[in-house]
Structure 1
Amino acid sequence: MNEALLRGLVPAVIGVLVRRGADFASAEDAVQDALIRAVETWADDPPRDPKAWLVTVAWHRFLDATRADAARRRREDLVDEEPEPGPAAAVDDTLRLYFLCAHPSLTPSSAVALTLRAVGGLTTRQIAQAYLVPEATMAQRISRAKRTVSSVRFDQPGDVATVLRVLYLVFNEGYSGDVDLAAEAIRLTRQLAAAIDHPEVAGLLALMLLHHARRAARTAADGSLVPLAEQDRGRWDTAAIAEGVDILQAALARDRLGEFQAQAAIAALHADAPTAGETDWVQIVEWYDELARLTDSPIVRLNRAVAVGEADGPRAGLTALAALDDSLPRHTAVAAYLHERDGDSATAARLYAEAAHKAPNLAERDYLTRQAARLNAARSA
C-alpha cells in the first residue's frame, strides 16, 4: 500500500464530502475512518480508483453517523440523494482546506494539529507521538479546533501567510516519534505549491529543502550538535540543495520578495560555500538587512549581528548586538561566540555557561556547556 498516495488524497476526499453537504468536522471524522479501513484492506485488495473508494466509504460512514444522531435528523434527506459509486469528481479542495486549517481564529498549536490531521492525513495517535503529548490531549486539541472552524464557510478566501507560518511550525519540529515532521512539512508545502502559484510558497519550499539538505551533518554519532561551520559538507544532500536553489531563483525572478524567499537566499549562500571560510558573509548581511526590513524581527537582527561579526569582525558584531534586548533567546550564546572571536576567552566562557542554563533543549545545552569547558580548560592549561 502506498501510504503517501493515501494521505495525499485526504484533502480532496474531505472536500468532496463537504460539497455533498457534510460539515467539516463530520467529514474529517468520516475520512479518518475510511483511512483506517483502507489500511486494513488495501494490502490484500487495492482499489482501481483509490480516491473514489475513499469517497464512497467515507460518505457511507458520514451517513451512518448522521442516521445515528437524533439531533441531526434534519440531514436524513441526504440519504435519498446518495450518489452512485463511481469515479470521484476532479475538483481539488486542497487549497481551501489549507486555509481552513490555518484559520486565524485558531491558536498556532491547534492549527498545526488540525493541518496534520485534515490535510496531512496523520492519525491523532501519530500527531500526539510527534509532539510528545498524550493521545487524549491531542484528541481534545483537534476536537476544539474543529469546533472553532465549524462555522467558517468553506469558500471563504484564506490568508497564505498564515498557512505558511503553520507549515513552517511543522517543519521546525523536525523528527520525533514515528513521524518525520520535517519531511511531512516538505510534502505538504509541495502540495500547496502545486495548488497555488505564489512566490512565497515557493520560497518556503526552497527554504525547507535547503535546511533539510544539511540534516545528516547536524549531529555527531553520539547525538551531539555540530554547528554549521564544523559540519561535514560532503554529507549535505546536493540534490535537495540544487532543487531548492532552482525553486528559489524562479521565485526571486518574479520580483515579489517575501520573508521566506529572503531566508532561503541566506540558506542558499551557506549551501553554495565549499567551506565555512568561503561563505559570502557580506552578501548574507545584505539579505539580513532585507529580511529585517520585511519582518522587523528582533531574532532576525540577532542573526544579523552574527553575520556582521563574520563579515566585518567580532567588534562590529558586538556593536550590532549591543543594540538588541539581552533577554532575546540565544542572545547570550551569540555574545559568547563573538567575545571568543574577539579573543576574550574569560568572558566567552562565562557567557557560554550562562547560555547553557537558558538553552531550550538538552542538545543545545550540552553543546554550550562543552564550549565553556573547552575555554576554561585552555585558560587553566
Structure 2
Amino acid sequence: MAAVWRIESARIVGALARYTGDFALAEDLAQEALAEALVTWPRDGVPRQPAGWLLTCGRRRAIDAFRRRAALDDRYATLAGTLGEGGVLTGGEVADPVRGDGDVLWDPDQIDDDVLALIFISCHPVLSREARLALTLRVVGGLTSDEIAKACLVPTATVQARITRAKKTLGAAEVAFEVPPAAERRVRLGSVLGVIYLIFTEGSSASTGGDLIRFDLAGEALRLARVLARLMPDEAEVYGLLALLELTAARFPARTGPDGQPVLLEQQDRRRWDRSAIRRGRAALAKAAEVGKGLGAYGLQAAIAECHAVAPSVEATNWERVVLLYEALGRLAPSPVVELNRAVAVSMADGPAAALPIVDGLAVDGSLANSHLLPSVRGELLTRLGRTDEARDALTEAVRLCGNEREKSVLAGKLAALA
C-alpha cells in the first residue's frame, strides 16, 4: 500500500483537485481514501487498479463533503454530474460497474496535466519560496514532513507549519486548479524546476530509510521533467534539468550491489551504466546550449555529470574541467553543497591538501552543521592525508548524522578500516 501511495498520490490529489476545485480539500480527501484502504484492503483484498479505487473513494468522499456543506447547491450538482450514468466519468475516465471494485481507467494525458497543474499551483507566487518547496514535496512528491525537513535542512516542525500556512494561503487567494498560461509559467519556472530537482535528489540519495535509491521518487521527477520539456520547449534550463536527471539516473544500475549496499563511484562497473540514458542526457544538454544563451545552474550540473558519464574511469575523468564547472556554478548559484562538491573535485585534481581548507571553511561557517556530507568528505580527505585520529573523529560524526541505513553502513565501514 505504501508503494501505491508513493507512486500514485500526486495523480490522485491532482485529479481530486480538478474535480473539487479545492487544493487543500483534495489532499484531505486523498488521505481519507488512504485511511479507508488501510481498513478495506486487508479484509477484501487489493483491487486490480489500486489508484483507481483510491480516486473513486476520494470522489465519493468529496460528494459527501459538499452534501454536508450545502444540501444541493450548484457546486455539488456539477461535481455529482461528472459521475454520469452507466459508470462513465468525465475527464477521460471510465468506471466499470460490473467489476464492483471502484476501479478507474486513467487517461495518461489528463494525468500529466493534473500533476503538472498541481506543481504550478504549489509554486504559486502568493507563496514564499520555502512554502512552495515544502508543499510540492509533500503533495506532489509524497515525502513525509521528516524527509522534507532533511532535504531542506530545517526542523520538522518548521516544515509542517509551512505546509499548513501554504494551504490556507492558496485557499484564501482562491487559486484556480489549472496549468497557467505561457507568460505566467515563466514566473514560476524557477520554483518548479527546484521542486523537481529536490524530488529527484531525495530519490537518488534517500535521506532516511533502508534503501539508498528511491526509484519511485527519482522516476517521478524524471517523468515530470520530460512533461515540462514538452510543455516549455524553448526554456534552456528545463533541458538543463532534464539532462542532469538523465545523466545522474544513468548511474543507478551500478550504484548498489546485489545486497543493496552502496557502491562508491571509483568501484562502480561502468559497463552497467545506462547508455541510453546517457545519450538522452547529452542530447538534452545539447538542446539546452542550443536554445539558451549559456548554461544555467542545472545545465552546469549536467555538464559536470557528463564529464563523469564519458570518462572510462575515475582517474581518467577531466577533473580540471569539473573544478572549473563547479567554480562557474558557485558564482551562478552559490551554496554550501556546491562548495563542498568543488572541494571534492579539487582533491581529485590537486590533492587532498588543496581541498581541506575549503572544507574547513565550510565547517566554520556552520551551514552544513546538521548534514553528514561535510564530516564524511572531511574524514575522507584526512584519511588520504594520513591524519588518522582526526579522520576517525570526522567519520564518527558523519555516522551519527547520517539518516540512511545503507549510506551509514558505508561510513561505518570506512571508520572500521581506520581502526
Give me the TM-score of the superposition, normalised by structure 1: 0.72
Partner of 1:72: 70
The 5-angstrom pairing of residues 223-262 of structure 1 reads 223-253=260-290, 254-262=292-300
- 2:10–2:139 Cα contact (<8 Å) kept: no
The residue aligned with 2:317 is 279
* CA displacement, residues 265-320 of structure 1 (integer Å, 9 cap, x when unaligned): 11111111111110110000011011101122122111101111111222221233
Report if the CA contact (8 A) 1:189-1:205 is conserved. yes
Q: Give how far 1:189 is off.
A: 2.0
In structure 2, the gaps of 5 or more residues are 38-45, 93-108, 149-158
Is the 8 Å Cα contact of residues 207 and 260 (structure 1) preserved in structure 2? yes
Partners in 2 of 1:320 and 1:179 — Cα distance?
33
Do 1:25 and 1:150's aligned partners in 2 also have CA atoms closer than 8 Å? Answer: yes
Instruction: Report the alpha carbon displacement of residue 76 of structure 1 after superposing the two structures with TM.
Output: 2.6
User: Which stretch has the larger CA shift, 184-193 or 327-336?
Assistant: 327-336
Once the two structures are superposed, residues 159-192 of structure 1 have per-residue CA deviations (whole angstroms, 9 ceiling, x without a partner) of 2222222222222222779972111221222222
Q: Which moved more, 1:278-287 or 1:250-259?
A: 250-259
* Displacement of 1:213: 1.6
Aligned to 1:164: 193
Aligned-pair distance for 1:375?
Answer: 3.2
Pair 1:289 & 2:334 matched: no
CA separation of 1:86 and 1:221: change in aligned 2, threshold 3 A: closer
| Code of the aligned partner of 2:245 | M
Alpha-carbon distance between aligned partners in 2 of 1:14 and 1:274, rounded to the nearest angstrom: 48
State the distance in 2 between where 1:373 and 1:342 align: 17
Q: Which runs of 5+ in 1 are unaligned?
A: 44-49, 118-126, 133-137, 377-381
- Given residue 313 of structure 2, which amino acid in structure 1 is its aligned partner? T
**Corresponding residue for residue 150 of structure 1:** 171
In 2, are the aligned partners of 1:102 and 1:115 still within 8 Å (CA)? no
Picking from 236, 254, 258, the partner of 1:221 is 258
CA separation in 2, counterparts of 1:235 and 1:129?
34
1:270 equivalent to 2:268? Answer no
Alpha-carbon distance in 1 for matches of 2:321, 2:160:
46
Alignment correspondent of 2:22: 23
CA deviation string 1:193-239 (max 9, x = no partner): 22223222222222222222212222233433222112111221111
The one of 245, 251, 254 aligned to 1:208 = 245
Residue aligned with 2:253, SS: helix
Match of 1:120 in 2: none
How many angstroms apart in 2 are the aligned matches of 1:349 and 1:60? 58
Specify the alignment match of 2:336 in structure 1.
298
1:338 aligned residue: 381
Q: CA deviation at 1:360?
A: 3.8
| Aligned residue runs from structure 1 range 34-45, under 5 A | none
Higher relative contact order (CA 8 A, sep 6+): 2
Q: Distance in 2 between matches of 1:374 and 1:131?
A: 30
Q: Give the letter aligned to residue 236 of structure 2.
A: P
Q: What amino acid is aligned across from residue 257 of structure 2 in structure 1?
A: A
Contact 1:209 1:244 (C-alpha < 8 Å) held by counterparts: yes
Of the two, which has the highest radius of gyration? 1
Q: For the aligned residues, what is the CA RMSD?
A: 4.4
Which of 186, 205, 225 is equivalent to 1:189?
A: 225
Q: Is the 8 A contact 2:133 2:191 kept in 1?
A: no
Tell me by how many angstroms 1:107 deviates: 6.1
Instruction: Give, in whole Å, the separation in 2 of the partners of 1:80 and 1:344.
Output: 71
Q: Give the Cα separation in 1 of the matches to 2:261 and 2:55.
A: 46
Matched, 1:112 2:137: yes
Kept in 1: contact 2:11–2:115 (CA 8 A): no
Shift of 1:13: 5.0
